[in-house]
Chains A and B, each alone.
Chain A
Amino acid sequence: MSSNGVAIDIAGVSKRYTIGEAQRPTNFRESIVAMMAAPWKRLRHLRGHRSTATDFWALRDVSFNVRIGDVVGIIGPNGAGKSTLLKVLSRITPPTSGHIDLDGRVSSLLEVGTGFHPELTGRENIFLNGAILGMLRSEIRRKFDAIVSFAELEKFIDTPVKHYSSGMYVRLAFAVAAHLEPEILIIDEVLSVGDLHFRNRCLGRMREMRDEGRTVLFVSHDLTSVRQLCNRAVMLLGGRVDQDGAPDEVTRAYEQMNRDPSIATAGMAERVNPPPHYHLRRVELRNAAGAVTRGFDAGDVMEIHLWASGRAPADSFTAEFQLLNDADEIISFGSANPVRDTYYVADQQHFVCRLGPLPLTEGAYSFSFTARVWNQVRWDFWEKAIGFDIQRCDLFRTGHGITNLHDGDFVIQQEWLAGD
């Protein structure tokens, strides 16, 4: 294996999930109901009623190699199998068939701060989290000071992390992860949590890893960072490898695919191929008069109406949007919480976000939406759910429009005076 310089050899990997089996009761009431219902289900089963469980292939015959020193970006729409592939590679779940050979010390990072305990201090969590990520105690002790100063938390290192702000928490978590020294790094889109500063540091650290000759395999929705960081990209579609090649070409193919079909022209969109579990299913953009439209002017107020299917897995959750420009770069972000103090209860199925006045320049934009409990697993990510246009940007009524072709995506409130 190492003789031909291959770090990761994925050979015919498939993964099957049985839907319906994985859905477990999540609270006491449901478990009682499930318990009472269980004998009935068994009985019906015995009488020959077929179970409603259906098979779902998250990965189908996926094969590719990653050479030592390669930085490979895995892209693809939701449900394409990216996360499943990472889970199989991280040994969290076994493949149903096929196998993977790994040559080199592996660290896999599906999120930052795994295993952090709120009652423990920053110092204690560094050791715990480090050990969970596979570091030796001696190694953590050696790197301890570097981790603390990287996180800029010297003063709070003996404070329980439950008293940390979410920013401090993420900084500490990332500091530990950044001090891993694997030969192969497998990393999920942890980069999309946290603020811009944090994301830049993540990207910076990944760049360093690349320059040190480590092998990196990372899943991302952010095509720009895939283009910047990777020397190869693999696009998954429906559990199979659809494209494998230079990042520019693969990401372009992905954009192409996304552009063609269903980005709605009417100011509303229904989910195509929604995931089977809880998900967002419909979105409408409405103007100040309440009309559904995709055309807005800068300075307008927009109302986003989002509908979800069924009951959310937990209370106190948030809906979020990412605002993308026409190069698919994320240019803004909003959420019910923690950006604002709105927490939705599990029964809530309709969410409204009043947005604006929009400070955007003329051009095409789109939204992606997420539903989740902040800082936890996201239940659903509806990528590029809907597009809209800013038709006219003349905030100061000068008669001159500003477009996002040359002048950026935003217009900031401004006043020009004559100095002395």
Chain B
Amino acid sequence: MPQSVQRRLRIEPARSWQGLQLAELWRYRELLYFFVWRDIKVRYKQTVLGALWAIIQPLAGTALFTLFFGRLGGLSKQVNGSYSLFVYVGLSLWTFYANTVSSAANSLVGSSHLIAKVYFPRLLIPIAAIFAGLVDFAVAFAFMLVLMVVYSVPPSPLMLTLPLFLVGTMVVAAGAGVLFSALIVSYRDFRYVITFVVQLWLFATPVLYTIEIIPEKWRLLYAANPMVGMIAGFRTAVLGGPLPFGLILMSGVVALLLLAAGLRYFTSVERRFADVI
């Protein structure tokens, strides 16, 4: 791949804005594949319960939130049908999001040795972390299908739109993950920032509650949190109801802007990584 194709090369001082260099990324696509493959293999080799964690995590969250928010907090009254299922559907996608953002954000410093010793487009590292999370999501998703049978929720044709929200979530995760990964290289403080940002973000996203509790006139602004459209759309596609198109569009646009901003910052500092990491 990389050097095999590229015969001539000029090495120059870093400019502030390198551009995305898509051709370069494409040349290294096999390495991306290997990074994803490594992340998945290592994760499942190091854990005893392996794939079960992918279910335990959202399931434990569901149990906890059902008790505290659903029962004691009274949120379950706003939900038609089972609050637990409602929360699990949202959490399955949210867990994927939260895990991939944190692992992408910490991926560069975790690969500092590699960065100090070999060249490859640095973007591959956080991007690989996003793709590696898909396996866990697939497991959690499969369990969701089981729950749908248990709660006798019939699958609707809207489920065909699910990939859209999954991809949308990956765009948000890539945007935030890429941005934070680069920030953490220079400022390790952001390691702590990302942890509580993700925690707070959960409450700013309709995972535990329905979007209806947000007043109508504020909803579009609310959807400037790009995860709003993804979670709301995803859950509607599974549990039924009208898709909130406006919110989805708004979130989609913000997601793309976030990704653009993340890539912009990343590419402007990536050549310095080896010097500061």
Contacts and interface: CB of A to CB of B under 8 A. Distances in A.
Interface residue tally on A, bucketed by range: 35 or more
A120 B38 contact: yes
Contacts of B113: 114
A92 B276 CA distance: 12
Interface string B107-126: 00000011111111000000
A117 interface: yes
Interface in B33-52: 33-34, 37-38, 41-42, 45-46
Given A38-B189, A90-B119, A114-B118, A107 B45 contact: no
Interface stretch (A130-138, A204-212, A258-266, A400-408): A130-138
Interface of B: 1-4, 6-14, 30-31, 33-34, 37-38, 41-42, 45-46, 113-120, 188-189, 271-272, 274-277
Contact of B41 (A99, A108, A124, A182): A124
Given A17-B275, A90-B118, A114-B114, A134 B11 contact: no
Q: Which 8 A-B pairs have the closest CB atoms?
A: A91-B119, A94-B14, A100-B11, A131-B34, A102-B9, A93-B274, A92-B274, A114-B117
Given A21-B276, A93-B275, A105 B3 contact: yes
A102 B4 contact: no
Interface string A110-150: 11001101011000100110011111110100000000000
A338 B235 CA distance: 57
B241 to A, nearest CB: 44
A151 interface: no
A22 interface: yes
A24 interface: yes
Given A119-B45, A120-B42, A124-B41, A133 B8 contact: no
Given A92-B116, A131-B30, A99 B4 contact: no
A53 interface: no
Interface of A: 1, 17, 21-22, 24-25, 31, 34-35, 38, 87-108, 110-111, 114-115, 117, 119-120, 124, 127-128, 131-137, 139, 160, 182, 377
A128 B37 CA distance: 9
Contacts of B115: 92
Nearest to A133: B118
Contacts of A99: 10-13
Nearest to A136: B1
B276 A101 contact: no
Contacts of A101: 8-11
Contacts of A108: 118-119
25 contacts: A24-B188, A24-B277, A92-B115, A93-B274, A93-B275, A94-B272, A95-B13, A99-B13, A100-B10, A101-B8, A101-B9, A102-B10, A105-B3, A105-B6, A108-B119, A114-B117, A115-B114, A115-B118, A120-B41, A124-B41, A128-B37, A128-B38, A132-B31, A136-B1, A137-B34
Contact of B11 (A89, A103, A124, A377): A89
A22 B41 CA distance: 33
Nearest to A125: B38
B118 A117 contact: no
Nearest to B14: A94
Contacts of A135: 1, 4
Nearest to A13: B11
Contacts of B120: 132
A136 B30 contact: yes
Contacts of B13: 94-99
